[in-house]
Amino acid sequence: MFIPHKVLEEKLLSLLAEDIGQGDVTASAVIPSRLRAEAEAVVRTPGVIAGIEEATILAEALGLKVTAEVSDGDDVKKEQVILRLSGDARTVVTMERTMLNLLSRMSGIATATRKTMQILKKARSGTRLAATRKTALGFLYFDKKAVVIGGGDSHRLHLDDMVLIKDNHIVLAGSLETAVKKAKRNASFSKKIEVEVTKPADALKAAELGADVVMLDNFSPAQVRTAVTWFTKAGFLGKVLLEASGGISVENILEYASTGVDVISLGELTHSVKALDISLEIVKPL
Amino acid sequence: MFIPHKVLEEKLLSLLAEDIGQGDVTASAVIPSRLRAEAEAVVRTPGVIAGIEEATILAEALGLKVTAEVSDGDDVKKEQVILRLSGDARTVVTMERTMLNLLSRMSGIATATRKTMQILKKARSGTRLAATRKTALGFLYFDKKAVVIGGGDSHRLHLDDMVLIKDNHIVLAGSLETAVKKAKRNASFSKKIEVEVTKPADALKAAELGADVVMLDNFSPAQVRTAVTWFTKAGFLGKVLLEASGGISVENILEYASTGVDVISLGELTHSVKALDISLEIVKPL
Amino acid sequence: MFIPHKVLEEKLLSLLAEDIGQGDVTASAVIPSRLRAEAEAVVRTPGVIAGIEEATILAEALGLKVTAEVSDGDDVKKEQVILRLSGDARTVVTMERTMLNLLSRMSGIATATRKTMQILKKARSGTRLAATRKTALGFLYFDKKAVVIGGGDSHRLHLDDMVLIKDNHIVLAGSLETAVKKAKRNASFSKKIEVEVTKPADALKAAELGADVVMLDNFSPAQVRTAVTWFTKAGFLGKVLLEASGGISVENILEYASTGVDVISLGELTHSVKALDISLEIVKPL
Amino acid sequence: MFIPHKVLEEKLLSLLAEDIGQGDVTASAVIPSRLRAEAEAVVRTPGVIAGIEEATILAEALGLKVTAEVSDGDDVKKEQVILRLSGDARTVVTMERTMLNLLSRMSGIATATRKTMQILKKARSGTRLAATRKTALGFLYFDKKAVVIGGGDSHRLHLDDMVLIKDNHIVLAGSLETAVKKAKRNASFSKKIEVEVTKPADALKAAELGADVVMLDNFSPAQVRTAVTWFTKAGFLGKVLLEASGGISVENILEYASTGVDVISLGELTHSVKALDISLEIVKPL
Amino acid sequence: MFIPHKVLEEKLLSLLAEDIGQGDVTASAVIPSRLRAEAEAVVRTPGVIAGIEEATILAEALGLKVTAEVSDGDDVKKEQVILRLSGDARTVVTMERTMLNLLSRMSGIATATRKTMQILKKARSGTRLAATRKTALGFLYFDKKAVVIGGGDSHRLHLDDMVLIKDNHIVLAGSLETAVKKAKRNASFSKKIEVEVTKPADALKAAELGADVVMLDNFSPAQVRTAVTWFTKAGFLGKVLLEASGGISVENILEYASTGVDVISLGELTHSVKALDISLEIVKPL
Amino acid sequence: MFIPHKVLEEKLLSLLAEDIGQGDVTASAVIPSRLRAEAEAVVRTPGVIAGIEEATILAEALGLKVTAEVSDGDDVKKEQVILRLSGDARTVVTMERTMLNLLSRMSGIATATRKTMQILKKARSGTRLAATRKTALGFLYFDKKAVVIGGGDSHRLHLDDMVLIKDNHIVLAGSLETAVKKAKRNASFSKKIEVEVTKPADALKAAELGADVVMLDNFSPAQVRTAVTWFTKAGFLGKVLLEASGGISVENILEYASTGVDVISLGELTHSVKALDISLEIVKPL
C-alpha cells in the first residue's frame, strides 16, 4: 500500500481544507501574523503509534519543520513526545486537530491490532489477523494502513481487487456452485476468488469448485476445527486458505486461532475504534 | 445542519466511488446483468438508528427503490428491518458496504449519545451534551449529525464558525487577557467567543473579559461546582455559558451534570465509536 | 479567517487553471520557451490594496520570485508599484490576468470599505461595518477577506456559522416567537442567534426571546433610534447587538451610525464592487 | 456558449455547496422538516434580467418546481415577479442566496451592457460592444453569458481560444514584427490573431503583418479615427477588425463608436458590476 | 468491473465538460434554442461494438432519449445504425464528439481483442488473452472494459489489486528469491503474487517459492514450451499460472498459444488502438 | 498551448493517483522503505520523442531528480536513453507505468505526425497538417501537444474556441446560408468561422458568406483541386483557408497536398495511435 508522498499530500490537504471551511477565525483573531512557534505532539495513553508518516507529510506540505521522535509501529508510553513541529504559529494551531485526529484514529487501530496479534501469537498457529471493509468512509487507506502497521493484513482494498462471493451473491446467482463457476469463468485470472460459506460441507464444496480462499462465516470454533480437519484430509490445507469471520472478538479469538485457521478477520478493528489520546502542546512562541 | 438532498448525494456518491475503484469484480462476474432484487437492512444489536436519510438519498440516487421502515432517531430492536431496497441486483450488492458503514457508524454515535443523554437527564439540570471536532476525517458532517439525532449538540462545525481560544492560543497570544481582548476586537460580531481555562479563577476572568462561553478543561466535579458558584455570585450564570470538557466519561458524567454546568462535551462520542451491527439481506431475486 | 498558504494555493491554482483552458496559445506562439522576465504590478487609481498575500502565494506556487512592495491594507497611490515578479516569462504573462483580477476586485472592496469606515468614524459611535453574503459566487473567502482588510466585519461566512432568522424563516415557522424559540432549543449553543425584524416592537420581542443579535431591516434612521432607545431602557443595549440593514448607502450611513446602532451591514460592499485599476508591466526580459 | 443543462448543474451545485458549508443551521433549527413552500423572486430595481436559465437549472436540480415568468434578456420592472418556486421549504431558503447572487450579478451585467449598447446604437455604426477577461474569478462563464444576453460580444473565453498579443508579449518577443510573425508561424490556423498597438502607425503595421484584429489601446477618439481612415485607404477596413480599448466609459463611448471602429471593449462591464436588486419572498407555506 | 450507472455518469460528464470548455460556440450561434432533433450513430467500418452502455448513460444523463440498436459485444456491419438519440438539438451536437470518441476507441479495442481471440481459439488451448496497464491515462476503466467485451481478460486494474514483481522490483529487492519471499510475508493473503522471469529456470524457481502466476517475459515460443514442460513435470501446471508477455503480436500469437500457456498478455490491445469509424447523423430536426 | 508547470503537475498527479488506487502493493511488499535507486527510460523503437516536459514535471513533483537527455521533438534511436531518474526506489517503480504511458502515447503521436509532415513537405505546398478532436477522452491537451511537437497544427482545442459548422449543424439550421449568417451575427468576433461543405460549389458559397475557413469533407483530390482553382479565380485563396478532411491517409496525402490546399486534417493522428515502445530500467539501487 505505497503511495508517493506527493499524492498522499493532496489527500491530506483536502481533509484539512474541509475542516477549515472559510478560515480559522480564532487563529487570525488571536495570534500575530508572523509569529513562529514550536510544538510537541504528546501521547496521553500508551499504545502503538501510527500515522507518523502522514502527519509528517501534512506538516511539511504546510511549510512546517517536523522531527518525528518515533516511527510508525513503535510502542509509545504515556507522556512520550512523538513529533516536534516548528514554524508559522497560526498554521500550527490550524492544522492541530486534523493532524491529531489522523494520529489518534490510526494509532487506536494499530494498538488494537497489535494487542489482538499478541493474543493470536499464543496459539502459535501462524494465523493472520485481517481487517474488513468496515472502515470510516473516505478514510479506508488510512484505516487499512494502520492495521498493517499493527501487524495485521489489509484484506481487500476496494471492490475491484478480489472476488469475494458472499451470501447475497450466492442467493442472486442461484447457488454456491453457479456462483463459483461463473466467477472462475468471468473474473480475471489476476484476482483470487473467495467464497463465504455457512457450514463446513460448503467449505469443502467451495474448495473443490476452485475457490482460492473460503470464508467460514459465523462458525463456532468447533465448526472451524471441523473445516480444518476436512481440508487436511482432502489435501486442501495450505492450498486453499480458510478465513474465519463473524462472531469473533478479543475474548474468543484465541480459541479460533488454535484451530489452525489461516486468517481471522475482525470488523471491530476498524468499525469500533478506540482513539489513542494524543495532544499538541505549544512549547514556546519563537 | 440542513443540506439539500442533491448536494448530499454528490458527497455520498463520491464516498461510494472511492470504495468501488475500477469496478466491483464480484458483482459483474457472478450476478446476471439485468437481474433485479429485493433486500432488507436488518439491525443485529439494539440501539438508536441514524443515517436513514443518507442511506435513502444514496440508494435513490443509484436508481433503487427505498422504503424506510424507521426514522432517524428511532429506537430499534434486534432483527428489526429498517430499510427495504429493490432494484438492479448488481447495484444493490455494490453499494451494500458503503450504505452499511454509513448506517453503522452514525447509529453507533446516535446510540452512545442517547444513552449518555439519559444519564444526564437524571441530573435534571438541563445540561447539554456536546460533540467535539474529534471526528473521522472527511466525515464530520455525518458524525455531527448523528450526535444531533441522538439528542446532543453539534458544537463547532469548522474552524470558521466560532472563536475557541484554547491553551495553545493563550500561550501564543501571551496571556488569557490579551487573547480574549484581541478576539473581541478582531473577530466578527457574528461569532461567539469561547475560552478554555484550567482553573476556576480564570473562568471568572474570561467571563469578565467578555467571553460568551467558558470551557472548564479537565476540572474535577468539585472545581466545576466552584466555577458555577462563582458565576452565580458574579451574575454570569445563564449569560456566559460554562462547558466542562476533558476527563469526563459515562462513568462520572452524572457527577459533572449535577453541578449545573451548561454543557458537557465528550470527545469519545465521535472519536471512539462502537458501530451498530447492521446487515443487508437479499430477500429474493426478482 | 486564516487559511494556511498551501491550502489557499490549491484554490488559487484552480482559478488559474480555469482561465487557461487547454493552454495559453499566445505565450507559446510568441515568447521563447526559456526566456525570463521581470515585471511590476502598478496601481492606476489610488485606493486600499488587498490581495497581496494571495497574489504572492499564487506567483510563488508557479515558481516566480515575488517581492511585495506594499502590505494588504496599505493606501496606494496612482502609479505606485505594489509587486515585483521575476521568473519564466511565459508563466508571468499567463498568470497576469488571474492575478490582476484577484488584486483589482479585492482592492476595490477594501477601498470602498475603508472609505465607508471613515464616514462611520465621524459618528464616533463605534458602529461596525459588516459585509453580507452577497458576494461573487465561489469567491466568498476573497470578498470577505477584502472587507476585513478594509476595516470591516466579515459577518457570516456560510450558512453553517450563525443562526440568522430572516423574514422567510419567520413566515415558514409561523411566527417570530415560534422561530426564535425553536432556534434556542434546536441550534447548537456555539452559534449566535440573529433575528431580522421589520418594526421596533419586534426588535424588543426578539431580544426578550433570547436573540443575540437583532437585525433592523429597512428601518429609517429614526426607527433605528427608537430601537436603540427601547433597548437602552430594557437593559439590552450592549448585551443584544443591533444591526441595521437594507436601504443604507454611503449617502445616508452617517445618519444611521449616529443612532449608536452596533452594526451596519452593506450588501454593496461586495455585490457592486468597483475594481481598482491595476496593471502588470514587463520591465525587461532577462 | 452553450453548455448542456446537466453540465451546468454540476457547476451550480458546487457553488451552492460552498455556501452551505456543513449545513444550514437556521433552516434545520427553525423550519419543520417536511414543510413545503411557495416563493417568488421579485425584482426591486428595473433592468435586464439574466440568469433565469441558470436559476431554473439549479432549482430543478434541487427538486423544486420552477416557473420562469420572464426570459433571459427581458426588460423587467420594479416589483416584477420573475420566477416562482415551490417545494421543500428548507431547500428553498437554503438555496435562496446562491440563486439571488447569480441572478443579481448576471442581471447587473446584462443591464449595463444593454444600456451601453443603446448608446452605441445612436452612432449607427454597427460597432460591437465586447467584454474583457476582467471577470469575477471562477465565474467567467456566467459573466460572459450575461454580456451576451445584454447584447454584447463575449470576446475571448480562455487563454486558449485566440492569440492576443499585448504590450507585454511584444516586449518579450522583441518587437511587434517578431511577435506577429511568430504568431502567424506557430499558432494554429484555427485561431484569430489580435495585436494590441499604442499608435496608429503600428495598427497599420500589424494589419500588414497579417493580424486578424488590431486593438487600439488607450487611443483618443481622434486617434481611432486616424486608424480607421488609414485602414480604409489601405483596404484593410472590414477585413482586419479594429477594436478600441482602454480609457473608454459610458461617458465617451458614443464618441468612439462614431469613428466606425468595429469593436469597443469595456472592462467595467464585468469588473465593476452593479448588482440588480432581486429578492425572494415566501408566498405561503403549503 | 461493475460500476453503478450513476457513478459512471459523473465520470462521463466530467470528460464531456472538459471538451466543452466555456461553452459550445457553434451550437449556440447556429441552432435555435428549443429545437429538437433525432440522430443516429452509424458504424462506417465493421467491427465489434463497445461503449453502448456508456454512451447510453451519457446521453440519458443529458436528458436525451436513447435507443440502443445493438448491445456491447455485438458484431456490427458497415452503415449499421447502433444508437438512436432524440432530444434537444444543441445538446445532441455538443455531446456528439465525446460520445463518438468513447464508442470509437472502445469498439476499436473490442474489435482487436475479438480478432485476436479468434486466432487464439485455433490453438484449442484455452489460453486467455489479457490486457496490460498500457492504457490511455485516465481512461483505464473504459479500455479494460472494452477488452473484456471483446472476450479478453482485464488483468490488473490498479497497482493495488495484485502483487506483480517485475524485473525492476527484483533488482531493487536484491534477488528473485528475496523479492518473492518478502511478497509472501508482507502482502495481503487476498492478493495473488505474480513474478516476471526472463528464463525458464527462474519460472520454476518462482513457482517453488510460492508465486501464483509466473510471467514469461520476452520468451520465444520454444522457451515458453520448455517452461510448460517443466511445470508439467513439477506438478505446477494448472496450479501456478503461466503468462507469456513481450514480443508477441497477432502474427506469432498462435505459436505462443499452441504451447498451452495459460495467459498471453498484449500491450498493443490498448496502447496502439485503431479506432472504429463511427459517426453521428442528424436524421431530422423535430 | 502553454500551461505553467504547477498547473500541469496537478493534472499529472491526478492521472497517477487513479492508477495507484489504494496503494502500490508490490512496492511496499518488496522494496525497502528508504532504498534509493537510479533508473533510465530507454526507447525500444526509433521515433520522435514527446512528453519529456510532462515526464519531468511529474517526476520532479514526486521528489525525484530528473535529467532529460533529449528534448521534445528530438529524433531518438533504438536503445537511446531519454531520461535519467534518481530518488526514492518505491516512488520510481510506482510512477513508472504512468510516466511510460504518457511518453509512449505522446511520442507515438509525434512520430506519426513528423512522418506525415515529411510526406507533405514533398508537395512543397506549405500545406499544414492538423489534428482533430478525435483524441483520447480526458487526454486532449497531451494529444494535441504531441501533434504540435511533431510539427502539426493543434486545430480546435475545445468546443469554445472556433465556430465549426458541420453537416449536422447545417441540417439543424435549415441551410448552409442560414447557418453561416447566424454564425456571423451571433458568434464573437474573436472566433474564426469554419464551414464544412460536401461539394465545391458550397465551398465557394461559404467563402462568399464570410467563412474564414472552409472544410472540404470527403473530397477527392480532384475535387479539392477544383475548389482551389475556384478560390483562386474568386480571389479567396490565401484569404479564406481551405481544409481537406475525411478519407485522407498517409497513402494518399501527397496527392491532396499537391493541390495546394491550406490544411489537411487527419483523425488517425490521435484516434489510432501506435505507441512508441519505451521502457524504464533500474540501473542500480543506491
Q: Is B244:B216 a contact under the CB 8 Å cutoff?
A: yes
Q: How far apart are CA F139 and CA F157, in angstroms?
A: 11
Find chain A residues with C-beta within 8 A of C1's C-beta: 22-25, 28
Q: How far apart are CA D42 and CA D76, in angstroms?
A: 10
pLDDT above 70 covers a percentage of chain D that reads 100
- Which residues 73-112 in chain D show a CB within 8 A of chain A? none
Distance between alpha carbon A240 and the CA centroid of its chain, in Å?
24
- The alpha-carbon radius of gyration of chain C (Å, integer) is 23
Name which of A39, A94, A173 is nearest B31 (Cβ-Cβ): A173
For residue F119, what pLDDT is reported? 95
Q: How far apart are CA D48 and CA E34, in angstroms?
A: 21
Nearest CA of chain F to the CA of B50: how many Å? Answer: 29
pLDDT in tens, E169-209: 999 999 999 999 999 999 999 999 999 999 999 999 999 99
Residue D71 has pLDDT above 80, yes or no: yes
Find chain F residues with C-beta within 8 A of B22's C-beta: 21
| Contact assignment for F153 to D189 by CB distance below 8 Å | yes
Q: Would you call E114 exposed, middle or buried from its count of C-beta atoms within 10 A (0-12, 13-18, 19+)? A: buried
Residues contacting D144, CB < 8 A, separation 6+:
D1, D131, D135, D154, D155, D157, D270, E22
DSSP letter string, C79-97: T-EEEEEEEEHHHHHHHHH
Long-range contacts, stretch A62-66, CB < 8 angstroms, 24+ apart: A62/A87, A62/A91, A62/A95, A62/C4, A62/C5, A62/C6, A62/C7, A63/A87, A63/A88, A63/A91, A63/C4, A63/C5, A63/C6, A64/A88, A64/A91, A64/A92, A64/A95
Residues contacting D183, CB < 8 A, separation 6+:
C26, C29, C30, D163, D165, D193
Q: Where are the beta strands (DSSP E) in F64-185?
A: 65-68, 75-76, 81-88, 128-130, 163-165
Chains that touch E (3 or more CB pairs under 8 A): A, B, C, D, F
Q: How far apart are CA B167 and CA B67, in angstroms?
A: 49
Residue F285 has pLDDT above 90, yes or no: no
Q: Residue F56: which pLDDT band, with cuts at 50, 70 and 90?
A: very high
What is the rounded average pLDDT for all residues in chain A? 96
| Contact assignment for C144 to A17 by CB distance below 8 Å | no
Burial A204-219 (b: 16+ CB within 10 A, else e): bbbbebebbbbbbbeb
Find chain A residues with C-beta within 8 A of C2's C-beta: 23-25, 27-28, 90, 94
Q: Residue D61: which pLDDT band, with cuts at 50, 70 and 90?
A: very high
Q: Choose the mutation target among D134, D172, D189, D250 for the interface with C, i.e. most C CBs under 10 Å.
A: D172
Find chain A residues with C-beta within 8 A of B158's C-beta: 19-22
Beta carbons within 10 angstroms of residue C181's beta carbon: 15
Active site residues of A: 97, 134, 166, 196, 217
Residues contacting F175, CB < 8 A, separation 6+:
none
Specify the DSSP element, H or E, that contains F140.
helix F140-149
pLDDT in tens, C206-225: 999 999 999 999 999 999 99
Q: Residue A284: which pLDDT band, with cuts at 50, 70 and 90?
A: confident
Find chain F residues with C-beta within 8 A of B21's C-beta: 21-22
Mean predicted confidence (pLDDT) in F165-190: 97
- Note if C182 is an active site residue: no
Mean predicted confidence (pLDDT) in E148-176: 96
Q: How far apart are CA A25 and CA B160, in angstroms?
A: 5
Residues contacting F189, CB < 8 A, separation 6+:
D128, D130, D153, D155, D213, D241, D243, D262, D263
Active site residues of B: 97, 134, 166, 196, 217
Question: What secondary structure, in 3-state letters, does chain E show?
Answer: CECCHHHHHHHHHHHHHHHHCCCEHHHHHHCCCCCEEEEEEEECCCEECCCHHHHHHHHHHCCCEEEECCCCCCEECCCCEEEEEEEEHHHHHHHHHHHHHHHHHHHHHHHHHHHHHHHHHHCCCCCEEECCCCCCCCCHHHHHHHHHHCCCECCCCCCCCCEEECHHHHHHHCCHHHHHHHHHHHCCCCECEEEEECCHHHHHHHHHCCCCEEEEECCCHHHHHHHHHHHHHHCCCCCCEEEEECCCCCCCHHHHHCCCCCEEECCHHHHCCCCCCEEEEEEEEC
Q: Is B181:B205 a contact under the CB 8 Å cutoff?
A: no
Residue B176 has pLDDT above 90, yes or no: yes
Mean predicted confidence (pLDDT) in C26-30: 96
pLDDT in tens, A240-280: 999 999 999 999 999 999 999 999 999 999 999 999 999 99
Find chain C residues with C-beta within 8 A of A13's C-beta: 6-7, 10
Residue C92 has pLDDT above 80, yes or no: yes
Secondary structure (3-state) at F185: helix
Q: Residue F111: which pLDDT band, with cuts at 50, 70 and 90?
A: very high
Q: Does D30 touch chain B (CB under 8 A)?
A: no
For residue B49, what pLDDT is reported? 98
Written as nine digits, the cell of F241 is 483557408
Q: Choose the mutation target among E22, E35, E36, E66 for the interface with D, i.e. most D CBs under 10 Å.
A: E22
Mean predicted confidence (pLDDT) in E238-260: 95
Mean predicted confidence (pLDDT) in C241-246: 97
pLDDT in tens, C170-198: 999 999 999 999 999 999 999 999 999 99
For residue A27, what pLDDT is reported? 96
| Contact assignment for E7 to B21 by CB distance below 8 Å | no
What is the rounded average pLDDT for all residues in chain D? 96
Mean predicted confidence (pLDDT) in A234-244: 96
Chains that touch F (3 or more CB pairs under 8 A): A, B, C, D, E
Residue B55 has pLDDT above 90, yes or no: yes
- Cβ pairs bridging D and E (under 8 Å): 52
Please tell me which residue of chain D has the smallest CA distance to A20.
D21
Specify the DSSP element, H or E, that contains C105.
helix C89-122
Burial B43-74 (b: 16+ CB within 10 A, else e): bebebbbbbbbbbbbbbbbbebebebebebbb
Mean predicted confidence (pLDDT) in A119-125: 90
For residue B214, what pLDDT is reported? 98
Residue E285 has pLDDT above 80, yes or no: no
Q: Does C63 touch chain D (CB under 8 A)?
A: no
| Contact assignment for A22 to D22 by CB distance below 8 Å | no
* Amino acid sitting at position F265: S
For residue A123, what pLDDT is reported? 87
Beta carbons within 10 angstroms of residue D217's beta carbon: 17
Q: How far apart are CA F154 and CA C59, in angstroms?
A: 28
For residue B276, what pLDDT is reported? 98
Residue D140 has pLDDT above 80, yes or no: yes
| Contact assignment for C63 to F7 by CB distance below 8 Å | no
For residue E185, what pLDDT is reported? 96
Active site residues of D: 97, 134, 166, 196, 217
For residue D124, what pLDDT is reported? 87
Q: Residue C241: which pLDDT band, with cuts at 50, 70 and 90?
A: very high
For residue F124, what pLDDT is reported? 87
| Contact assignment for B191 to C161 by CB distance below 8 Å | yes
Q: Residue B181: which pLDDT band, with cuts at 50, 70 and 90?
A: very high
Please tell me which residue of chain D has the smallest CA distance to F141.
D160
Q: Is F187:E29 a contact under the CB 8 Å cutoff?
A: yes
Written as nine digits, the cell of D209 is 503583418
Distance between alpha carbon A191 and the CA centroid of its chain, in Å?
21
> E67 pairs with which residues across the strands?
E84
Beta carbons within 10 angstroms of residue F235's beta carbon: 10
For residue C199, what pLDDT is reported? 93
- Note if C217 is an active site residue: yes
Find chain C residues with C-beta within 8 A of D41's C-beta: none
Q: Residue D284: which pLDDT band, with cuts at 50, 70 and 90?
A: confident
pLDDT in tens, F30-41: 999 999 999 999
For residue C156, what pLDDT is reported? 95
Q: Residue C286: which pLDDT band, with cuts at 50, 70 and 90?
A: confident
Residues contacting B227, CB < 8 A, separation 6+:
B200, B203, B204, B214, B216, B219, B242, B261
pLDDT in tens, F130-146: 999 999 999 999 999 99
Nearest CA of chain F to the CA of A270: how many Å? Answer: 16
- Cβ pairs bridging C and D (under 8 Å): 236
DSSP letter string, B41-108: EEESS-EE---HHHHHHHHHHTT-EEEESS-TT-EE-TT-EEEEEEEEHHHHHHHHHHHHHHHHHHHH
**What angle, rounded to 10 degrees, do the helices at C140-149 and C89-122 form?**
50
Specify the DSSP element, H or E, that contains C99.
helix C89-122
Q: Does E62 touch chain D (CB under 8 A)?
A: yes
Beta carbons within 10 angstroms of residue D237's beta carbon: 18
The DSSP symbol for A197 reads E
pLDDT in tens, F193-231: 999 999 999 999 999 999 999 999 999 999 999 999 999
pLDDT in tens, E14-30: 999 999 999 999 999 99
Q: Would you call B90 exposed, middle or buried from its count of C-beta atoms within 10 A (0-12, 13-18, 19+)? A: buried
Q: Residue C22: which pLDDT band, with cuts at 50, 70 and 90?
A: very high
Nearest CA of chain B to the CA of A103: how many Å? Answer: 11
Q: Residue C123: which pLDDT band, with cuts at 50, 70 and 90?
A: confident
Chains that touch A (3 or more CB pairs under 8 A): B, C, D, E, F
Q: Does C18 touch chain D (CB under 8 A)?
A: yes
Q: Residue B284: which pLDDT band, with cuts at 50, 70 and 90?
A: confident
For residue C4, what pLDDT is reported? 96
**How much is the pTM?**
0.96
Mean predicted confidence (pLDDT) in F104-119: 98
Residue C37 has pLDDT above 90, yes or no: yes
- Which residues 170-209 in chain A show a CB within 8 A of chain C? none
Q: Residue C155: which pLDDT band, with cuts at 50, 70 and 90?
A: very high
Name which of F25, F133, F168 is nearest E160 (Cβ-Cβ): F25
Please tell me which residue of chain E has the smallest CA distance to D160.
E21
| Contact assignment for B7 to D22 by CB distance below 8 Å | no
Name which of C25, C97, C167 is nearest D160 (Cβ-Cβ): C25
Mean predicted confidence (pLDDT) in C142-166: 96
Please tell me which residue of chain B has the smallest CA distance to E156.
B22
Find chain E residues with C-beta within 8 A of F135's C-beta: 101
